[in-house]
Structures are given as C-alpha cells and as structure tokens.
Amino acid sequence: MFRLAHLSDIHLGPLPEVTVRQLASKRITGYVNWQRNRKGVLDDAVLNALTADIKKINPDHIALTGDLVNLALDAEIEVARLWLQEFGGSEAVSLVPGNHDAYVPGAFDKICVAWGKYMAGDGEKGPISRKSFPYLRVRGNVAFIGATSARASAPFMASGYFRDDQADRMRVLLDRAKKDGLFRVVMIHHPPVHGATAAHKRLFGIGRFQDVIREHGADLVLHGHTHLSTVHWIDGPKNRVPVVGVAAAGESVGEGKPLSHFNLFTISGEPDNWSIHMMRRGLSRTTREIYEHSSFQLTGQAARPVDVQPISPTPI
C-alpha cells in the first residue's frame, strides 16, 4: 500500500515589495489581480493548517502540481524554496511547475536553479532545465512522471504547452515504468482535458497528451491550475485513466471555488489490477479546521466514470 498526497496552486503570499521596474511587464496584471482578488482569498494560516495535516498523516510521497508563487519574483522563489523544505526534502516531494512559476521570461530558469532537486529524475546529474522534462522518479512501486506545461505567456493569458519533444520522452518513460511493473502517475499543471478551463487558460497540446496516454497507458494523471476539485477520464489502451484536479491549497473563502484541500490517494494491488482510493481532506467552512470531505474509489478495470463537481464541505 502506498499513500500519496497531492496539492497544487499554493500561491504563497503575501507578495514582497515590488518595484516599478519589476511591474513593467506582464507582472502588472498579476499584481492588480493579487490586490483585487487573491489577496483576500488566499490565506497563509489556511495553508499552514493544510501543511500540518499532511505532515501529521506522513504520506509516502507528495506530488505538487505547480503555481507555488504568484509573480515569479526572486523573493517569492526563495520563500517557496524554504517552504518546500518543510516536507522533508526532495526525496519526499515531486514537483512540476505552473504558469505562475514561469510568469515572465527567465523565471523558468530561476526556478530550475532554486527548486531543481524537486524536479530531477532519479540519477539526474547536472543542472535542471526545460529539456529535463518529463522526468522519472520511482518511490516504492510508484513511478512519478513529471511533465511541464509552464511557459511565460502574454498578458491576460494563462495557457500552457505540451509539445512533441515532451510527448516523445513521455512515451519512453511510460513504457519503461510499465515494463518494471510500476503504478504510473503523470503530473502536469494544466488539465489535459478539453473544456476543463477557459480558452485563455487552456493547455495547447491536449490531443497530443491524450494520444500518448491512449497508446502507452498510465494509471493516474494529476493536475492543478483550475483551483477546482474534479475527476475527468481519458482513454488508455485498456482502461480509462482518472485525471484528477485539486483546489488551491490556500483558498480560504471559496467564492465560486472549493475551499483549501488536498487529495490523499491510497494505491494498492499489482499491475493490471491496481486499486486507487481517493480521499479529500480540507478546510471546514464552519470550524476552520482540516477534516475529511469525501472519498471515491478509482479502481483499475472496475473504474467507472464519476462526475465529481466542486464540493461544498460537509462534516462527516
């Protein structure tokens, strides 16, 4: 049995002081969005409670699907590096970047330096770069394949990209993990599903991504970006593959979005007969404590599509 915690869209705050020069870019739109919207709904105290709950549960591994920061300022990137250390180091955490982590040109290179050890495949030697993705890490009987959709985009855009070079490498890694009898988790920030988000926030290359899964298979796909609690399904060679999104980790108000939570997966079984149980743990709207919201069975050959909409927390 392997327990995996998945959280995403941390958006660590508050913002550090920003100079006029730093705002002379796409950052100006993100800065305004923070001041008008995110500042009031993203709460460090909530994130701290969620982090403490994960540490108490002590899962076998933690998957982070991006957007640790807001404007990709140097000070934010450093704070995120320190925050990552709370979980016990890079052996315990696998990370893929989000669009906010690559918010402006040059930011992606900086996060590769600061957070590289969390995005390095097993045996990776040398610096991490865009060419390092997707990477492969094995923990127990689970393979983590981390792809990047993060790229600096134009103002008012939050799109991501999955191109041929990553698709080619992912095919190789998926086949290798299957040959080794491993449960295969694919991580990407943007949802690889049509209609999962607005056009200006979509992933370019959804069809390409799904073609890879259709031909080579996977057992679970994890993403962030939408700040929604969702389960979609895409076709694999034999079974449909669950594609699971999660709420923003620091969401404290939930106006139109689910409150802060993470997904805890329990993985058991063996190749061609895996069992996946998913539990959502997150913020109570009334007590402001972290507790179990709901749970679902996402089981290999017995899996059935389940329309899981964003949830309103209900005490169990």
Residue 308 lies in a domain: no
Distances (CA, A) of 135 to 27, 51, 84, 132: 29, 25, 19, 6
Mean pLDDT value across residues 295-311: 53
Residue 25: is its pLDDT beyond 80?
A: no
Contacts of 241 (CB under 8 A, 6+ apart): 213, 217, 218, 219, 220, 221, 233, 234, 235
Residue 316 lies in a domain: no
Residue 304 lies in a domain: no
* Residue 305: per-residue pLDDT: 40
Which CATH number characterizes residue 259's domain? Answer: 3.60.21.10
The whole-chain average pLDDT of the chain stands at 87
Q: Which domain holds residue 230?
A: 2-297
Mean pLDDT value across residues 288-308: 63
Our count of domains for the chain comes to: 1
Q: What is the pLDDT of residues 86-114, one digit of tens each?
A: 998 899 999 999 999 999 999 999 999 99
Residue 306 lies in a domain: no
Mean pLDDT value across residues 63-84: 94
Whole-angstrom distance, CA of residue 177 vs CA of residue 301: 19
Residue 311 lies in a domain: no
Tokens 């191109």 sit on residue: 163
Contacts of 121 (CB under 8 A, 6+ apart): 132, 135, 136, 137
Residue 313 lies in a domain: no
Q: What is the pLDDT of residues 199-236, one digit of tens each?
A: 999 999 999 999 999 999 999 999 999 999 999 999 99
Residue 312 lies in a domain: no
* Residue 32: per-residue pLDDT: 62
Residue 305 lies in a domain: no
Residue 49: is its pLDDT beyond 80?
A: yes
**Per-residue buried b or exposed e for 221-250, using 16+ beta carbons within 10 Å of the residue's own CB:** bbbbbbbbbbbbbbebeebbbbbbbbbbbb
* Residue 232: per-residue pLDDT: 94
* Residue 34: per-residue pLDDT: 55
* Residue 265: per-residue pLDDT: 97
Mean pLDDT value across residues 121-144: 95
